Structure 1
Amino acid sequence: MKKQLFIILSAMLMASVSQFSIAAECDTVYGVDYVISKISQSKPHKRNTFELSLWRNQQQVIYINHQSATSTKWQKTANNRIRKVSYFDEFERAIEYEPSAALLATFERNFHIITYDVRNKMTLVATAGTGCEQVQQLELTDKNIKLKVWWQPSQQLVQKLERITASDKTLWQAKKVITAEQGFKSIVAKLHDYHATDYADIGDNESDPFLVKMINLGFVEHGASGFYDSQGHSLSGGHQH
């Protein structure tokens, strides 16, 4: 009996070590180009499609919306808070928001596209490939939403995502995966050169044509606090509770 238990435990340990070794041998993913489409269920021939680039490391996540020429960065600070920064390519300007611990969940969601909690609730329906190329098909139905994800565990990467409701369907499809760290560094360096304004100082600079335009276009919520709740929504007023 003890011998059988030892064999079982040894097998489990070897499997765990093997999975760790595979993950360690796989290239680190620093960037992914996604094509995102939103399709109306009532008018399936009409779809809104745009491209979004995701850049990431353990300290920063950057989303680049190529259609609007805007970017958003979520960066971990030394005290384990998340600083959000919005970038506007046309003006080479940036707006920095107050770091908030409430954005930690947002950082995780944006890093992986979906959170660990959601993935943990999903059912594995199929697996294809092995090692670094293994892709798991996961599904979840929650109330009126059906979620399908093609997940690459070794890279912590969403290859494809479908979110289906009664009214519409949203699709994320990875078009290009970047494993060269230099690409990530170049993006960070480019955005770092933009002239940044602290969100708390916007009220003192409302004569700035750039800030006026951003407020009018809705990119900046006039009078918002710069603080966010656990869902990433802006909290009204000037204090965080």
Structure 2
Amino acid sequence: MNTRKIPTTLIPIATVISTLVVGTTALSLSFNAHAGIATEAANCVLDKQHLSANYTLTRTFDIGRSQTKSLTLWRNANEVALQYPQEKITEVWTRGHDGRSRPVRYFDQYQRGIEYFPDEVKNSRSEQVWQTKYQLIDDEFRSSMALVASTGSGCQRTETYELKKQGKIYRLVWQPQSQLVVEYREKAMSQDFVIKLQEVSQEDDKIEQFFVSRQAYQTTDYADVGDNESDPFLRKMMNLGFVSHGASGFYSADGKPLGGSGHAH
């Protein structure tokens, strides 16, 4: 069985937020900034554990070129899915009773999946790992930012945070009751990266069907990939660089390995 720890991020555009927490120092927020939250929460009927949220992720370069991708975040109690429509890939993360997180990487085009176990996931017990999947940004990084504004009430209440660090400007618009990123911006000299919420849905049937449909896919344990190279699907995924037995196991959409990064959690 492969004993190497795989990083907890799969596709580069989804790793940006989770890597920002490295080296940050938590800042305490004033009590007054959070006064009334309990009252507002009582007036919010949004079920944050069962929803889908559509995002656009746009990277703009100083030469005027830009790239935009889509991401849909799905929540179903202790299951969280990150769906990348362009890549036709879905990551489904679950959290066990022991607090450890584990993913299944589904290739929607082929209705196949690769399963990973907690022992194969680096820092699988870390709260940070789960938070970066459940809400795209972990609490430690958010607390390192300064709260500069708070508007609205109940489900519509938003908080705006900002941070300047090492030549970059970070800005986050956060919805506390849903634990959703409304907008996240990372601005550097040569490029601008923005994640923007487009739509939130709470259609229970649609959410349940999304997870059930992927559970019907044929899956292979990551540790067994090397023993199944005769499988045309697995052979193709290895040739494309999406999965490799004995390496990190997680590769980018263009086949570059994601293992070995000092920023991986």
Unpaired segments ≥5 residues, structure 2: 1-34, 251-257, 261-265
The residue aligned with 1:31 is 52
- Residue 21 of structure 1: aligned partner: 42
CA distance in 1, matches of 2:245, 2:189: 34
Residues 59-93 of structure 1, C-alpha deviations (whole Å, 9 max, x = no match): 11101100011111111123321111100111110
How many Å separate the matches in 2 of 1:118 and 1:150?
A: 13
Q: Does 1:95 align with 2:127?
A: no
Q: Which amino acid aligns with 2:177?
A: S
Aligned to 1:214: 237
1: CA distance, partners of 2:122 / 2:154: 35
Cα offsets for 1:29-54 (capped at 9, x unmatched): 5110101111112x12x111111110
Identity among equivalent positions (%) equals: 32
Q: Is the 8 A contact 2:243 2:249 kept in 1?
A: no
Root-mean-square deviation over aligned CA pairs: 2.4
State the TM-score, normalizing by the size of structure 1: 0.81
Shift of the 17–51 alpha-carbon distance from structure 1 to 2, 3 Å rule, reads closer
**Cα pair 2:55 2:199 within 8 Å, conserved:** yes
Measured in 1, the distance between the counterparts of 2:190 and 2:163 equals: 18
Contact 1:81 1:101 in 2 (8 A): no
**Is residue 50 of structure 1 aligned with residue 69 of structure 2?**
yes
Counterpart of 1:84 in structure 2 is: 103
Cα 1:148/1:17, change in 2 over 3 Å: closer
Distance change in 2, residues 1:60/1:144 (3 Å):
farther
The match for 1:149 is: 172
How many correspondences in the alignment? Answer: 216
Aligned amino acid, residue 144 of structure 1: G
- State the distance in 1 between where 2:190 and 2:40 align: 40
Deviation at 1:145, TM superposition (A): 2.5
Is the CA contact (8 Å cut-off) linking 2:76 and 2:208 kept in structure 1?
no
- The 3 A distance-change label for structure 1 pair 166 and 222 is farther
Which ranges in structure 1 are unaligned for 5 or more consecutive residues?
1-13, 228-232, 236-241
> Does the 8 Å contact 1:98/1:226 carry over to 2?
no
1:1-241 correspondence to structure 2 within 5 Å: 15=36, 17-23=38-44, 25-28=45-48, 30-41=51-62, 43-44=63-64, 46-99=65-118, 100=121, 102-103=123-124, 104=126, 105-224=128-247, 234=259
Give the partner amino acid of 2:46: C
Separation in structure 2 between the aligned mates of residue 101 and residue 79 of structure 1, nearest angstrom: 15
Name whichever structure is richer in helix by fraction. 1
Does the Cα contact within 8 Å between 1:214 and 1:220 map onto a contact in 2? yes
The structural deviation recorded for 1:162 is: 0.6
What is the alpha-carbon distance in structure 2 between the residues aligned to residue 55 and residue 36 of structure 1? 16
8 Å contact from structure 1 (residues 73, 84) kept in 2:
yes
Larger radius of gyration: 1
Which whole-Å CA distance do the structure 2 matches of 1:51 and 1:226 have between them?
Answer: 23
> Is residue 125–residue 139 contact of structure 1 (8 Å, CA) maintained in 2?
yes
Distance 1:65 1:83 in 2: 18
